[in-house]
A and B are shown apart, each in its own frame.
Chain A
Amino acid sequence: MDTSARICVQVRLFASYREAAGTNRLDAELPAGASVADLVATLAERIPGLVSAPGLVAVNHTYVQSDQHLHDGDEVAFIPPVSGGA
């Protein structure tokens, strides 16, 4: 069996995305070589806001573009527009 053909990433969700998904963490399995955009596509049905809204994405705590390739064990966070401060 070719186990390298699939990767598993940990997804972190916050604020409106977390509420839409009903969870703050989930695991996603993807084909090896998949990008952030591919992950968004697999989650789109569960979290429609990921596609329609202008949030950012971080992989392992660093902001990335949607063509970033993912690796097994990556932590991918979907970041709605931030609003810290007062």
Chain B
Amino acid sequence: MSLFKIVEGPIDDLALERAIRTDADGAVIVFRGVARRFSRGRDVVHLEYEAYPEMAEKVMAQIGDEMKARWPIGDVAFVHRTGVLEIGQASVVIAVAAPHRGEAFEAAQYAIDRLKQIVPIWKKEVWSDGSQWIGWEHESHQHASEQEVSAE
């Protein structure tokens, strides 16, 4: 059964795989996005994720529908974590089951790309000497509130 969830604790990828795999599937792709230490030349101490959970789960389910419309895949598990994440912890896990591997790989890549475009979730990088909400750097308007330190 496909599932689309925002959670506050660690994500159990093996449980997700068990939830989506059926005997018709010959491939299960599990993508895990993890918090990394280095970002644009700075040392990240930890990350903080915030979501609009009710809407985020609906948009993730919409992405799941888009995936199934494009590729002959089985079920999808799409889980994003919120709160404070230490380096190396998974912020997002996308698992795709399919009869064959090609479509499972492509659909998983599509899911993470779409998540970064339209799912209402925000990441804050916290450094030893400041912090910043990520997302503004791709826009023409640089935004910096008083709590934020410019990435420049």
Q: Is the CB of B121 within 8 A of A84?
A: yes
User: Given A16, A18, A80, A82, which contacts B118 in the complex, CB threshold below 8 Å?
Assistant: A82
Q: Check B80–A54 contact: CB distance below 8 A.
A: no
Q: Are B52 and A83 in contact (CB under 8 A)?
A: no
Residues B109-150 near A (CB distance < 8 A): 112, 115-124, 133-136, 138-141, 143, 145, 147-148
- B34 and A86 form a contact (CB under 8 A): yes
Interchain CB contact (< 8 A) of B91 among A12, A61, A79, A86: A86
User: Is B49 interfacial (CB-CB < 8 Å)?
Assistant: yes
Map CB proximity to B onto A1-30 as digits: 1 under 8 Å, 0 otherwise. Answer: 000000000001011101110000000000
Chain B binding surface, main DSSP class: mixed
Question: Are A85 and B141 in touch, CB under 8 angstroms?
Answer: no
Closest to B55 in A: A61
Chain B residues within 8 Å of A19, by CB: 145, 147
Distance of A52 Cα from B145 Cα, bound (Å): 12
Q: Is the Cβ of B139 less than 8 Å from the Cβ of A84? A: no
Whether B143 contacts A82 by the Cβ 8 Å rule is: no
> 12 more A-B contacts (CB under 8 A) besides A19-B145, A63-B118, A85-B92?
A16-B122, A53-B141, A54-B140, A58-B120, A79-B52, A82-B121, A82-B135, A83-B133, A84-B121, A85-B123, A86-B35, A86-B92
